[in-house]
Amino acid sequence: MDGLDGPSHPGAVPFAESGAVGDPDDLQRLWTPHRLVYVADHHQPERSDCPFCAAPGRSDEDALIVARGETAYALLNLFPYNSGHLLVNPYRHISTYDEATPEEVAEIGALTQNAMRVLKRVMGCDGFNIGMNQGAVAGAGIAAHLHQHIVPRWAADANFFPIIAKTKALPELLGDVREKVAAAWEDPGQPG
């Protein structure tokens, strides 16, 4: 039987010398068994348990919503990459961008533009990462409901924590960021 150090039979080369299974590498592994529900049997939330369908029925403060439009809305990401990380979602439970109506596409775009203006003004960010992961294979955590990420970036936002400690430091609480962004939100059609 093989031991933790490698094969235990005579003449066997230990894994560390052979480059085989069990050889240490430079990857840190994050065990996230709570996410298995999103990949097992291709399960995606049903409309009844979709957080993006549920959010509009809650108060703006509880759902972290910063702006509501006619066909789409913007809210803070509950698990942000950076302070001010927003998501823009259609109200309708659709999974991909090609399913959106022209009105939804226009409002998602207008909310995204306005979010950028507001975040520049209230957060003082230097740039943005904007994108949509569509489908579980593309990295969408909730692939069943279309959402666009707007991640504010600063020249100095990549400190040593993510590299050395695999930790992200977020300097503001979600509730404080929501209050600040929601207070500064303008009509999406107006320039900032």
> What integer best gives the mean pLDDT of the chain?
79
Q: Which of 89, 85, 96, 106 is nearest to 150 (CA)?
A: 85
pLDDT given at position 100? 97
Q: Tens of pLDDT along 49-103? A: 899 999 999 999 999 999 999 999 999 998 888 899 999 999 999 999 999 999 9
Structural domain tally of the chain?
A: 1
Helix residue spans in the chain (DSSP H):
15-18, 36-39, 51-54, 60-63, 102-123, 160, 174-184
The CATH number of the domain where 132 resides is what? 3.30.428.10
Residue 139: what residue type? G
pLDDT given at position 131? 93
Q: Does residue 24 belong to any structural domain of this protein? A: no
pLDDT given at position 70? 98
Dist. CA 54–CA 93, nearest whole Å: 10
Q: Does residue 18 belong to any structural domain of this protein? A: no
Q: Does residue 124 belong to any structural domain of this protein? A: yes
Q: SS3 breakdown of the chain: % helix, strand, coil, rounded to 5?
A: 40, 15, 50
Residues recognised as catalytic:
147
Residue 108 in this model has a pLDDT that exceeds 60: yes
pLDDT given at position 67? 97
Residue 33 in this model has a pLDDT that exceeds 50: yes
Q: Tens of pLDDT along 170-179? A: 778 888 899 9
Q: Does residue 13 belong to any structural domain of this protein? A: no
Q: Does residue 4 belong to any structural domain of this protein? A: no
Q: Does residue 12 belong to any structural domain of this protein? A: no
Q: Which of 105, 104, 87, 106 is nearest to 152 (CA)?
A: 87
Confidence of residue 32 (pLDDT cuts 50, 70, 90): low
Q: Which domain covers residue 94, as residue numbers?
A: 33-184
Judged by DSSP in three states, 165 sits in helix
pLDDT given at position 73? 98
Residue 139 in this model has a pLDDT that exceeds 90: no
Q: Does residue 189 belong to any structural domain of this protein? A: no
Q: Tens of pLDDT along 122-131? A: 999 999 999 9
* Contact indicator for 134, 116 with CB cutoff of 8 Å: no
Angle between helices 102-123 and 174-184 (to 10 degrees): 110
Q: Does residue 65 belong to any structural domain of this protein? A: yes
